[in-house]
Amino acid sequence: MRIGTLQIWLYMPWVHSLKEKRMVVKSLCAKLRNQFNLSVGEVEEQDTHQIAVFGIACVAGDTAQADSILDNVLTFVESNTEGEITKIEREIL
C-alpha cells in the first residue's frame, strides 16, 4: 500500500475577498472529492485572499498507481480553475 500526497499552490488574481476565495476553494475541493475519492483541504494561506494551498492525499496499491492518480488530479486542477499553479510538492510514501 502506498500513500500519495500533493500540495498545490494556486494563485487567483481575480479574488478580492476571503468570501470569494472560500467559494472557489470549496467548489474545487468538492469536485476533487467527487471525481477521485480522495482527501483534500486547504492547508495554508487561509488568510491570504489570492493564494490557496491545497493538501491532497490518496491511497493506492502501488507506487505507479499513486503516481497516476496524482498526475490525473493535477491535470484536473489545471483544467477546472482559472487560477495559476505556482508551486507543487509531491510525495509518495
- Average pLDDT rounded to a whole number, residues 19-35: 94
Length of the chain in terms of residues written: 93
Domains held by the chain: number: 1
pTM greater than 0.85 (yes/no): yes
Q: Which structural domain, as residue segments, surrounds residue 75?
A: 2-92
Q: Say if residue 69's pLDDT is above 90.
A: yes
CB atoms within 10 A of CB 37: 10
- Average pLDDT rounded to a whole number, residues 7-13: 96
Predicted confidence (pLDDT) per residue in 70-88, tens digit = 999 999 999 998 899 999 9
- Residue 69 is which amino acid? I
- Residue 5 is which amino acid? T
Q: In this predicted structure, what is the pLDDT of residue 46?
A: 86
Return the CATH number at 9. 3.30.70.1120
CB 36 within 8 A of CB 54: no
Predicted confidence (pLDDT) per residue in 42-58, tens digit = 999 888 889 999 999 99
